[in-house]
Chains A and B, each alone.
Chain A
């Protein structure tokens, strides 16, 4: 599904969060959104998921204006991986994963189709969380919970997959395995995947396109080698950077902060 965003503007009460955002994302591609804290990465993802309503501008999914979709249809198409979910009322991983299939089911229906359980089954095997299905969400480690959250989004079988910090809390192996899996899945199922991430190394490995944001605006957008440039990164992140070229990919090595925090 192709996403087109035109002149998007988002405010949180009186604070501007996004300004003049225009971009295009095509299907079957991994687009990584990078930028420092507070740059507006999560807000951009939440606006595309229509959780946050824009003040001005337009978002089109496959040419259709986003507010023309019913909430239910949007739930079938768009999956946003929220890094924070409420766990105060105890519930199991399986109960959580089954909610992912709700947009595809009748709200009043009581029974759960075998088909839905099979989807959850398959994805929980692939994400290596099958052994956790009967555990309570509040008993999981951060890394296990992260995998459960991503598995939930995949179980929704979305056309647009929005991942907010998917590498957080994951060890080396799962970072690579999960992003690798998401990339394969994106290409095979023609998903439009947008990932907000802090890890520039992972961005350089898996991104087809990179969007760099700062202070609610897009600073640069394009192929990884066009965006991951020394001067640009140093200006946006305020960190001294060294670029390594490995296998034709620009790998970012942060060296030291430009301004030191004095004691």
Chain B
């Protein structure tokens, strides 16, 4: 029983991997084709992926596609980061409702940005400075939550409660500050809260991609400790893993991944919550399988959501664009609802 079952699990993993990568390539090409000038997806695919093999595109397709590349890549990396961070957070809190923002990182990042704009209004002109400020804010939030949870004994419950305390405090503070910011920037402050990948520039992309890949590359070292950690602190301990060390290092990676996405695209809810459930549904809870799959699922969901954002802004033609987070919720929630119903029925 054990052997065929395990082999079936491995097969499922590779099948999911291949299907998700194919879907991702398809969606990625589609995302590059959609915009104010609609392109033929087949030509875009050739222009982007066959370029190294000497294929030359016609009608400046490659130029237009390259312009849209940063936006698509930003969705891809942020989606993967948020999904991985969500998986780590759900495991270390052993709470299937945890998401990457459970540590209150989003509210401290927002506070930092608002404070920055009030103190130095010119900050808004330089995207790079905004990114740095919000990253530092998110990092400060993580340090605050971690210190508070250590004071409370360092258990996963202390971590969740500390996160709630920090999040509530700074969401209040940031709203007060953003109210003042409205006077300076003359736009409703709701737009600062909601995520969008449309503002990511190509030259900043490296700062998004490199750290994401670096931190994602650390996660395989935690696969087995996290698998043991799932069943309790004492359980992990008697298998020779230090539960506090596992929890702290996974939280550190998750916090940094989240901080980077907040800095670049703002707050995009639901990906970090839904992607881990979808990944576990596909390949089970073993992190060796779930972690690669969750990154792909997150990237795919975010790309799809961004395509919807583009289509809505093209055809509904209102001022500006829909926030990405709104669309991720609308796409992600029904799928999660379907999973819940299906699992409860079983």
Contacts and interface: CB of A to CB of B under 8 A. Distances in A.
A227 B280 CA distance: 51
Nearest to B221: A108
Interface stretch (A19-27, A78-86, A202-210): A78-86
B238 A134 contact: no
A49 to B, nearest CB: 5
B95 A110 contact: no
A215 interface: no
A214 interface: no
B185 to A, nearest CB: 43
Interface in B226-255: 227-228, 230-232, 234-235, 237-242
A225 to B, nearest CB: 33
A51 B3 contact: no
A88 B238 contact: no
Interface residues of B, number: 35
B89 to A, nearest CB: 11
A49 B233 CA distance: 13
A71 B284 contact: no
B121 interface: no
Interface stretch (A89-97, A192-200, A253-261): A89-97
Nearest to B230: A89
Contacts of A118: 2-3
A71 B228 CA distance: 14
B2 A103 contact: no
Contact of A133 (B5, B94, B95, B237): B5
A108 to B, nearest CB: 6
Contacts of B328: none
Interface in A47-96: 49, 51, 70-76, 78-80, 82, 84-92, 94-96
A150 B281 CA distance: 27
Contact of B232 (A49, A74, A84, A105): A84
A114 B343 CA distance: 31
Interface centre among B5, B90, B91, B220 (most CB of A within 10 A): B5
28 contacts: A46-B234, A49-B238, A71-B237, A74-B238, A80-B234, A82-B232, A82-B234, A82-B238, A85-B235, A86-B94, A89-B91, A89-B94, A89-B230, A89-B285, A91-B230, A94-B2, A96-B231, A99-B224, A99-B231, A102-B224, A102-B241, A103-B239, A121-B1, A121-B3, A124-B1, A124-B2, A130-B1, A131-B1
Given A71-B242, A130-B1, 14 more contacts: A51-B234, A79-B238, A80-B238, A86-B232, A89-B91, A89-B94, A95-B286, A98-B6, A99-B239, A102-B228, A102-B239, A118-B3, A121-B3, A133-B2
